[in-house]
A and B are shown apart, each in its own frame.
Chain A
C-alpha cells in the first residue's frame, strides 16, 4: 500500500538504524518487504520452502551488510528486489545443476532456459507491482476480467482514448522484463518501471 510512495528519507533512516544494530528496524524492514521478497523468490523457484530460504538469506544479508545499500543509487525497495532476484536465481541454478549432475537428465541449455524463463517471470511480477496504479488497474480489468477497452474506460471513469493509452503503456513497461534477461546478464534494473 503506502510502501511505494515512501520517501527516500525512510530508506536512509532505515539504513542508519540497521547499521546501528536496532533489532526493531529489522522487524520494520521485514514488515515492509517480506511479501515482495517471498513473492519474487516463489515466482523464480516455484517452491514454498525454497522461497522461505531465500527470504531468510535476503534479510540476513541486509542485516549483516546494511552498508552495501547506497541510498543515492535508488530506492531500497528496488535494491531489495534486485538482491532477492540474484539470490533466488543463484539458488535455482544450484538446485538445477545438482539435479543435472545427479541423474544427467536435461542439458545445460535447458537449464539456462529455465533460469531465464523464471528470471523474466519474476521481473514481470515486480514491474506489475511497481507500475503506477492507474496502469495496473487498466491491465487488471482488460486481462483478468476480460473487459474490452471501452468497458475498461467506463469502469475507470476515463475516456476511451485514455484507456487505450494506459493499456499500451502498461504493456510497454511490462515488455522491458525481457530486456535484462540475456544469459549471463546481471539481475537487471529493478525499479525502472515505477
Chain B
C-alpha cells in the first residue's frame, strides 16, 4: 500500500491540522507519537507510523532519549531458557542444606517418597498449557480378574489425586477437599478412593481445568508438613512420645486401613503411576522414582500381597484345585520367593496360605523374578498378570495366584 492509497485511513490518530486526504507523510501530534514509542521500538507499528515517529525523533529530545532507552530494552528481551530443572537436583540441594544445619523437625523417612514424587509431578505440570491440561488420559486398573478403565483428562487425574490424598489429609486432621460434597465429618471421610473421585468430579458442573494444580499442591505440602509433626520424626523413641509413633496412625480407605507411614508410600506410588499416565498423554519422558523410594513402594506391595491373596480366595478367584494348606498364625507356611531385579529391587518371601503365616525359605514352592518397574506396572494394573514379563520356576498355580493378587492391588 502506498501513501496515496492511504488517505483518510489514519483514524483518530490523524493530525487535527486537517492535513487531509492527499497528504504525504502521516502527521501526528507529540502525545500520540510519544504513546507509540513502545510499539515503535518493537517494530510493531505501520510503516507510516514508523516514519512519523522517526521524523519526530529528530525534533524532540525527550522522545529521542526515551526511544533509545526502549530500543535498548528490546535487546534485553530473551526467550526464557526453559531448562527443565533436573528433578534429582531437589534431593541434592535439600540434603546438602540439611547436612549443614540438621533440622529440628525432620521429614520422616516414610514421608520422603511422597514429598519427592509430588515435587516431580508438580515440575512436570509447570509448563503445561490448556492443550496439555485437557489432553485425554485413560486410567487403568484391575477389578476382580478384569482390566477396567475410565476416561478423564490431565486435569481430571489431578482432581483424582486431590480426592484420594484427601483420605490422608482427613486422617491428619486437615480439611477434606470433598468437605461439603460428601458430607464427610472430621476424622471420618466418606467413601473409597473411587467413590471419592467420582463425587469430586461430579461436584463441579464443568470438567476440571488447570485450576486444580494449586489446591492439589497446597494439600500435598500440608500433608507432608503435618505428617512431620503428627507422625513423629525418624527417631522412634521421640516419635513415640509425640503420640503419633512412627507413622502408625490409621488412615481409612473406606473398606480397609493403612498406617500413615504406609499410606504415604501408597500415595507416592499413585502419584508416580498417574504422573506416568499424564506424561504418556502429552508425550513427555518420565523417569522412575529414586531407587530407595521405589524399593519402599515395592516393599509395601509385597507386604500387602498375602492379604490380597486371602481376599481373592474368599472371592473364589484363586486357581481351581488350590492346594492350600492350613497353617497356624505366626508359623512358617508355603511361600513364594519374589525376586525383584533392578536398583529398587530385593527379595521377599510371600506366605501363600494365610496373611498370618510367616514367609519361609524352607517352605518355598515357587520363585518369580521381575524387573522393579515391571512389578510396579503390574501392581498399578497397567500390565496384566499374563503379560507381565516374569521369570518363573515352581508351582504354576501359586505363581499365577500371586501375580493376579499383585494386579488386584491396583485401583482407580
Contact = CB atoms under 8 A, between A and B. Distances in A.
B89 A26 contact: no
A47 to B, nearest CB: 11
B38 interface: yes
Given A124-B77, A149-B45, A171 B101 contact: no
Nearest to B76: A124
A102 to B, nearest CB: 28
B81 A42 contact: yes
Interface stretch (B91-99, B153-161, B240-248, B303-311): B91-99
A168 B38 CA distance: 4
A56 B78 contact: no
B44 A152 contact: yes
A34 B101 contact: no
A157 to B, nearest CB: 17
B77 A139 contact: yes
Interface in A34-68: 34-35, 38-39, 42-43, 48, 52, 55-56, 59-60, 63-64
Interface string B205-237: 000000001100100010011001000000000
B89 A55 contact: yes
A147 B69 CA distance: 21
A27 B44 contact: no
Given A26-B94, A31-B122, A31-B221, A64 B41 contact: no
Given A168-B37, A175-B72, A178-B72, A23 B42 contact: no
Interface string A19-32: 01111111110110
Interface residues of A, number: 56
A177 interface: yes
B interface, over-half SS: helix
Nearest to B11: A160
Contact of B105 (A21, A43, A166): A21
B103 A21 contact: yes
Contacts of B101: 21, 63-64
B70 interface: yes
A142 interface: yes
A27 B102 CA distance: 14
Interface string A113-139: 000000011001100110000000001
Interface in A154-177: 161, 163-172, 174-175, 177
B380 to A, nearest CB: 25
Contacts of B86: 52
Interface in B115-143: 115, 119, 122, 126
A185 interface: no
B78 A124 contact: yes
Contact of B104 (A20, A35, A121, A139): A20
Interface residues of B, number: 51
A30 B94 contact: yes
Contact of A60 (B73, B96, B107): B96
Given A64-B101, A143-B42, A35 B77 contact: no
A113 to B, nearest CB: 15
B300 interface: no
A31 B86 CA distance: 13
B292 interface: no
Contacts of A42: 81, 83
Which of B102, B103, B104 counts the most A-chain CB atoms under 10 A from its CB? B103
A7 to B, nearest CB: 14
A168 B35 contact: yes
Nearest to A19: B104
A24 B228 contact: yes
25 contacts: A20-B104, A21-B102, A23-B98, A24-B107, A24-B221, A30-B90, A30-B93, A35-B85, A38-B85, A38-B89, A39-B83, A52-B86, A52-B92, A59-B94, A60-B96, A64-B97, A142-B44, A149-B39, A149-B45, A165-B35, A168-B38, A169-B38, A170-B38, A171-B38, A171-B74
Interface of B: 35-39, 41-42, 44-46, 69-70, 72-74, 76-81, 83, 85-86, 89-90, 92-94, 96-98, 100-107, 115, 119, 122, 126, 213-214, 217, 221, 224-225, 228
Given A21-B104, A27-B90, 12 more contacts: A1-B214, A22-B104, A24-B115, A24-B225, A26-B103, A34-B89, A56-B92, A59-B93, A59-B97, A63-B97, A147-B44, A148-B44
Q: What 3 A-B pairs come out closest when comparing CB atoms?
A: A168-B38, A21-B104, A167-B38
